[in-house]
Each structure stands twice: as C-alpha cells, then as structure tokens.
Chains A and B, each alone.
Chain A
Amino acid sequence: MDIFLQQLINGLVLGSVYALVALGYTMVYGILGLINFAHGEVVMVGAMVVLSMISLLSSFPLPLGSELILLISVVSAIIVCSTLAFFMEKVAYRPLRNAPRLAPLITAIGMSILLQNIAMMIWGRQYKTFPDLFSITSYDLAGANITNVQIFIICLSILIMIALLLLINLTRIGRAMRATAENPSIASLMGVNVNTIISLTFVIGAALAAVAGVLVSANYSVAHYSMGFILGLKAFTAAVLGGIGNMAGAMIGGILLGLIESIGAGYISDITGGFMGSHYQDVFAFLVLIVVLVFRPTGIMGERIADRS
C-alpha cells in the first residue's frame, strides 16, 4: 500500500472538514475582529443533532429511505446550529460589541464551556456511534484506499465552498458582507443594517459547521460532547495559517493543515525512530500554529494587520 498517497487522501478528507469550520472562524473575525472560540462546539452540536435525528427517524414505523433520513437529519442540524449561533451572537456578543476586545474573547471561551456542558447533559458522556446508514465501500486508487464516505466528504465540501465563494463575491448580500467586514460604519451609510449582516455571518458559519459536524462524525463514526474543542482549535489554526479574516485563506489553510497533519502522522514514527506514534498527530497542528504565529502572523493570504483599525 502506498503510504504517501493514502495519507494524502486522508489529509484531504480531514482538510475539507477543517476548511468548512475555519470559514466560520474567519468570517466572524473578518467582520467583528472576534475569535469565536465556541464555534467548535457548534460543530459538535451539529454532529449530535444528526445522530439523534438519524436514530429517531430510523425508529419510525414508516420506512424512510436512508438518503431521506440523512437529508432530513442534516437539514435539522443546520437549522439547530444556525439558530444556536444566531442567539449566541445576540445574547453573548452583541452587548459587548464596543467593549474592550478581551471581554468578548473571554465570553467566547465561557460560551464554549457552557455548550459542552449542556451537550453533556443532553447527550451524555459516552461516545455515540454513527449508525450504518449506508454500507461503506472501499475503492482502490493506485495502491491506496478511498471510501465512498470520503469521496462524499471531499465532493460536498468543495461544492459548499464554491457556493459560498459565489455568494460572497457575486451577490448583493455577499457584497454587503464584504463591505461591512471592511468598514461597518460606512456600510451602514449605504443603507446596510450591520446587525443583520453580522447575524447572517454567524448563521452561515454555523450552517457550515453543522455540515462539518456531520462529515467528521461520519468519517470517524463517533461523536462526543467534547469533540468540538480540539477540532475547533485546529480549524482556528487553519484559519490563522491561511490568514485570519480571509475566506480563500481559510479554505487553503484548512486543506493544507489536514495534509500536514495526516502526512506528518504517517511518517512521525519514522522521523522519531519509533519514539512517537501516529497518535501524536495533533502535535503537528499546534506546531504549525506556533510557527505561523512566530514567522508569518498574517498567514498565507493575510493582509497587513494595520489594514484594520
């Protein structure tokens, strides 16, 4: 089996999920200058809602097809996550809009812990397994394996990202979002309701997070109330790597981080002479974070920080 190609595939799958989550961080940062540390928990809630919905719908007496069950579950997760993010912004962040930057940051961390605890109360402490809605088929690709789930994850993520780029770059609302990110006061002088745009940003980010939650739990077949924390931190790393505030950067950063992590994990044992195994995979993400912050804090696509006042 070709290890490199295999890790490339795994990295791409992981990276597409990071990219979807990183977009949420970067969009909110772009518009509010806030790092929404609770964003990872939105991903977790998405995964949990999908699991609950699938088991609920599967136990229905009337036979729904697997595709329909999945579709309804994912749509429910998107609705729940978007609503959650909408109120999170309104209740926790909006009152602090003009407060010193540390205040909303601490609130975000508090919100993250709060959501984890609420999720633990609702869904319990145990790992929840993703039901086998579809049989997993594995295909051979030049000596590496790729499953139908993995193909689905990569394709869906790419589709969503293209749709998002079209929305942001070609529509009236997307233009208003970019204008608001650049200068909220001037945007409001154009007739833009800045609060609506900010809510919309949270809602879109949460919808992407919900999808990412579904994809990541389908890929690993498990979900847990604490899964959002590390995932969120890594997606944040991806956003910083790409240049926080920059959407194309979040996509590139996400994919790149996924690749670095999984290729690193594939070879870490060789590099350290067997001293560290592939379960040290997480080390790479945070090494990347430190290296980027030290040597290129603006990330790959980032502009000068001085650009934003």
Chain B
Amino acid sequence: MTLLKVTDFRVAYGGIKAVKGVNLEILRGEIVALIGSNGAGKTTLLKAICGLLRFEGQMTFAGVDAKRKRSDQLVKLGLSLVPEGRGVFGRLTVSENLMMGAFLIKDKTSIKNDIDRIYQMFPRLAERKNQIAGTLSGGEQQMLAIGRAMMARPKMLLLDEPSMGLAPMMVEKIFHVIDEISNSNVTILLVEQNANLALNFAARAYVMDSGRITLDGPSFELKTDSSVRRAYLGG
C-alpha cells in the first residue's frame, strides 16, 4: 500500500530550480534510500515534502492530498523529518526537546512512556536529560533529533544525512537505531551522501542528480550499476 507518493514534484528558490519534476512512490513499511552528490536537491526535496517549502506538482500522504498542507498538519498525518544538521533546540534541555517532539500528543502518560523508550534506545540522552541541547556532541544531537522525531509517533520518518560529520562508531550506532525504528513498522526515507552506507541499509533506492531522479531500483542492482559505482561508490 502506498504511503507517500509525489508526482512531477518541482521546487524553486526564486528563479533557481532545485527540484525539477521528481516522482517517488514509497510503500508502507519500506526502507528507501535517496542518494546523490552535494547540491543534487535532496534536502530541498525533503523540506518541500514536509511543508517547509512550496512546490508544484502532486503529493499524497497516507491517502490524503498533501499539497499546500503546512508542516504542522503533515506531522499530524504522521510525517516526521529529522532535518539536515539535526536542528535540535539548542537552548532547550534534552528532555524539553523530546517533549517538543510530542507536541501534538495529548496523553501525558503515553508521552512519559515514549520518553522512557527513547532513553532506553539512547542511554546517553538519559544521562544528559537536563542538559541544554546546544552543549551536546554532534552524535548526541543526532540521537536527540531522531528521538524527538519518534516522539510524534510517525508513520514515516524522513532522515536527512544522519551520518553527516559523525565518527564511524557513532554512525554504526545511529544506523542500528534506525533499523530498530524500521522494525517497529515505521516507513523510512533515508537521504545520504554516503551511498555505500545507504545502499547497504535500504532495500531500494533512488539516485538524484541536478534536481532529477536519474535511476531507481533495488539496492543490490544499483550497487553493481556502473554509473552509480563511478559517481557515488568511488569506482
């Protein structure tokens, strides 16, 4: 069953076209990767899907026409973004950040249970729960950003370069958690510049270049594709 579908999706910054007619279709429960070099338009595409930028074309999410919906309405429908550069609230504490993630959830006990679950996933966050988020390390901020997005109980999680700037150990830990999340029935769209990582993790992938999807298919096929190997896998 289709969860997210975008058709002829176009986004521009003033006159500069950054996304030029993209089609995506993601099914419930899938893990899909979106790879592409710096400046390909990946972040722009995710931001527009989440309602942060205006787009032309069509989009449906969870069976609802999602065009012209604001981000807060899309969150309500079950779409959450872990933004590029984490975007934690640096002046709020770790636990306040998590509570912000649960902004639309009314039931206090379920919020508390969810927070406990996140702390189990990331014990480092539990140790630092009263610390101001701006003082966390990059990896801890990434954990917090993921935990915060999960607090909204999303149907689908969009992750924009969660490995960016992290040490290999930390990347491994983060991806382990993303795997866990996906096992709990959350659909995942993972944007990565690290194509190797993404293609090993996701079952299926799209390749984006200069605002267009140039290739898509099962990861194992893309991994052996000569143009993908040359452009994104270093030969």
Contacts and interface: CB of A to CB of B under 8 A. Distances in A.
B83 A175 contact: no
Interface string B46-84: 000011100000000000000000111001100011010
A189 B91 contact: no
Nearest to B91: A182
Interface in A183-211: 183, 185-194
A98 to B, nearest CB: 12
Contact of B96 (A175, A183, A186, A187): A175
B47 to A, nearest CB: 8
B99 interface: yes
A65 B101 CA distance: 49
A191 B152 contact: yes
Contacts of B103: 172, 176, 190-192
A91 to B, nearest CB: 20
Given A175-B92, A176-B103, A178-B89, A190 B52 contact: no
A191 B151 CA distance: 11
Interface string B86-126: 01011110001001110110000000000000000000000
Contacts of B91: 178, 182
B70 A175 contact: no
A200 B157 CA distance: 30
Q: Of A183, A188, A192, A194, which is in contact with the most chain B CB atoms at under 10 Å from its CB?
A: A188
A179 interface: yes
B148 interface: yes
> Looking at chain B's contact residues, is the secondary structure mostly helix, strand, loop, or mixed?
loop
Contacts of A191: 72, 75-76, 103-104, 152
Given A188-B51, A190-B148, A175 B100 contact: yes
Contact of A183 (B50, B80, B89, B104): B89
Nearest to B81: A189
Contacts of A186: 83, 87, 89
Contacts of A189: 50, 52, 71, 75, 80-81, 83, 87
A181 to B, nearest CB: 8
B52 A185 contact: yes
Contact of B75 (A175, A179, A190): A190
B92 A185 contact: no
A189 B96 CA distance: 15
A175 B80 CA distance: 19
Contacts of A185: 52, 71, 87
Given A188-B70, A190-B75, A179 B92 contact: yes
Interface string A112-144: 000000000000000000000000000000000
A178 to B, nearest CB: 6
A253 B206 CA distance: 55
B99 A188 contact: no
Contacts of A188: 51-52, 70-72
Contact of A193 (B70, B96, B100, B101): B70
A185 B81 CA distance: 11
Contacts of B81: 189
Contacts of B100: 175-176, 179, 187, 190, 192
Contacts of B51: 188
A178 B80 CA distance: 20
A66 B70 CA distance: 49
A208 B81 CA distance: 36
A188 B100 CA distance: 10
Contact of B72 (A182, A183, A192): A192
Q: Of B50, B96, B100, which is in contact with the most chain A CB atoms at under 10 Å from its CB?
A: B100
Given A190-B103, A190-B148, A183 B70 contact: no
Interface string A166-178: 0000001001101
A194 B71 CA distance: 10
Contacts of A193: 70, 72
Contact of A190 (B70, B90, B101): B101
A179 B91 CA distance: 8
A193 B51 CA distance: 12
Contacts of B101: 190
Nearest to B99: A175
25 contacts: A172-B99, A175-B92, A175-B96, A175-B100, A178-B89, A178-B92, A179-B100, A182-B90, A183-B87, A185-B52, A186-B83, A187-B100, A188-B51, A189-B50, A189-B80, A189-B81, A190-B72, A190-B75, A190-B100, A190-B103, A191-B76, A191-B104, A191-B152, A192-B72, A193-B72
Interface of A: 172, 175-176, 178-179, 182-183, 185-194
Given A186-B87, A189-B80, 18 more contacts: A172-B103, A175-B96, A176-B100, A182-B92, A183-B87, A185-B52, A185-B71, A187-B100, A188-B52, A188-B70, A188-B71, A189-B83, A190-B72, A190-B100, A191-B75, A191-B103, A192-B72, A193-B72
**Nearest 8 interchain pairs by C-beta:** A191-B104, A191-B75, A188-B71, A186-B87, A191-B103, A190-B103, A191-B72, A190-B100
